[in-house]
């Protein structure tokens, strides 16, 4: 399969938009749970409109698939909330780098859930990913904001790993847009009470920021990503997706003046290096 230039361009644009969400999430002046709630409310609303406009069948084939999609939506709510907590507590670099370690959890959970053999090479990569995270930890103390941010980031990573395994079954049976609608719609319902329980004074900038994350950085970006995958190889898609962290850190430096520390650069080099290696050398 040859890579189509337009598809590759759309893929990069989608990943750039994904990376922008962390920066906007740190910039807005509302709690992380509200950023996550606003994200999934906006994105699921737009996905619903797109599915209805395209007359996409929304009914899932079995009760088991429905329960799995709803469960994945609950996990997604945890993932986004923990991700934005990590970004707001520490930095964009910490939030995006720790999120990139989700293969660490997939390595051990996938054989358990799908009754597959645990590969030694996968364990080796998981150890390297963990080493990359440990390099970024400045102090093993819950009074350190960076350490707390790393803890939230690892929870976000764990949740995304579980979500990835849920999507392995669902994506093989249904269009990506339908899977995302179920998951993000469920996450929206789970997080909706936060709008009434967490009191905060919304500004026009906050509302615009959350809408940007939901409509542009999530729904639009995901649609671009899915469409672009039709014209690129899986390996290319994986490599470009790994740039989300790089784009996020670059945006943070340019827009927020937030420069990564030496520890974050070293740990990030290990994490991103392992991710790139995993993509270039897939399991046989």
Dump the DSSP string for 95-137.
Answer: HHHHHTTHHHHHHHHHHHHHT-PPPHHHHHHHHHHHHHHHHH-
Taking residues 234-242, what's their average pLDDT? 70
Least confident of 31-40, 152-161, 172-181: 172-181
pLDDT number for residue 234: 61
pLDDT greater than 60 at residue 258:
yes
Quote the domain boundaries for residue 234.
Answer: 5-279
Give 176 or 182, the one with higher predicted confidence: 182
Calpha distance 218→154 (Å, rounded): 21
Q: Is 232 inside any structural domain? A: yes
Taking residues 136-152, what's their average pLDDT? 85
What percentage of residues in the chain have a pLDDT greater than 70?
A: 94
Q: Is 206 inside any structural domain? A: yes
What is the SS3 string spanning 181-246?
HHHHHHHHHHHCCHHHHCCCCCCHHHHHHHHHHHHHHHHHHHHHHHHHCCCCCHHHHHHHHCCHHH
Taking residues 97-115, what's their average pLDDT? 83
pLDDT number for residue 157: 92
Calpha distance 264→132 (Å, rounded): 9
Q: Is 119 inside any structural domain? A: yes
Give 283 or 257, the one with higher predicted confidence: 257
List the Cα angle 244/108/12 in 5-degree steps: 15
pLDDT number for residue 40: 94
Q: Is 284 inside any structural domain? A: no
Q: Is-contact 212 2, C-beta < 8 A?
A: no
Q: What percentage of the chain's residues is helix, strand, coil (to nearest 5)?
A: 80, 0, 20
Calpha distance 210→194 (Å, rounded): 14
Location of structure tokens 């337009």: 6
pLDDT number for residue 281: 60
- The phi, psi pair for 59, rounded to 5°, reads -75, 130
pLDDT greater than 60 at residue 282:
no
Residue 259 gets which letter from DSSP? P
Q: Which of 43, 29, 8, 38 is nearest to 221 (CA)?
A: 43
Q: Is 271 inside any structural domain? A: yes
Calpha distance 252→187 (Å, rounded): 27
The encoded tokens of residue 222 equal 């995901």
Q: Is 267 inside any structural domain? A: yes
- The phi, psi pair for 245, rounded to 5°, reads -65, -40
Q: How many domains does the chain have?
A: 1
Q: Is 138 inside any structural domain? A: yes
Predicted TM-score (pTM) of the model is 0.88
Q: Is 120 inside any structural domain? A: yes
């Amino acid at each position: 399969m040859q890579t189509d230039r337009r598809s590759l361009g759309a893929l990069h644009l989608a990943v750039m938009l994904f990376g922008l969400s962390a920066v906007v999430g740190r910039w807005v002046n509302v709690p992380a749970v509200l950023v996550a709630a606003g994200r999934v409310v906006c994105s699921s609303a737009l996905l619903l409109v797109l599915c209805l406009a395209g007359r996409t069948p929304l009914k899932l084939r079995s009760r088991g698939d429905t329960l799995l999609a709803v469960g994945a939506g609950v996990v997604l709510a945890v993932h986004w909330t923990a991700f934005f907590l990590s970004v707001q507590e520490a930095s964009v670099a910490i939030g995006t780098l720790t999120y990139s370690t989700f293969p660490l959890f997939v390595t051990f959970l996938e054989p358990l859930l799908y009754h597959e053999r645990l590969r030694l090479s996968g364990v080796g990569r998981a150890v390297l990913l963990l080493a990359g995270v440990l390099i970024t930890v400045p102090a093993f103390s819950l009074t350190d904001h960076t350490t707390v941010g790393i803890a939230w980031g690892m929870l976000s990573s764990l949740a995304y790993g579980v979500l990835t395994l849920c999507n392995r079954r669902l994506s093989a049976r249904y269009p990506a847009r339908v899977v995302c609608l179920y998951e993000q719609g469920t996450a929206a319902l789970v997080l909706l009470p936060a709008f009434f329980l967490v009191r905060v004074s919304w500004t026009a900038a906050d509302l615009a920021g959350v809408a940007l994350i939901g409509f542009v950085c999530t729904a639009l970006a995901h649609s671009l990503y899915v469409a672009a995958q039709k014209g690129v190889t899986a390996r290319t898609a994986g490599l470009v997706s790994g740039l989300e962290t790089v784009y996020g850190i670059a945006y943070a430096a340019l827009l927020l003046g937030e420069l990564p520390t030496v520890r974050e650069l070293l740990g990030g080099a290990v994490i991103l290096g392992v991710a790139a290696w995993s993509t270039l050398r897939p399991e046989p």
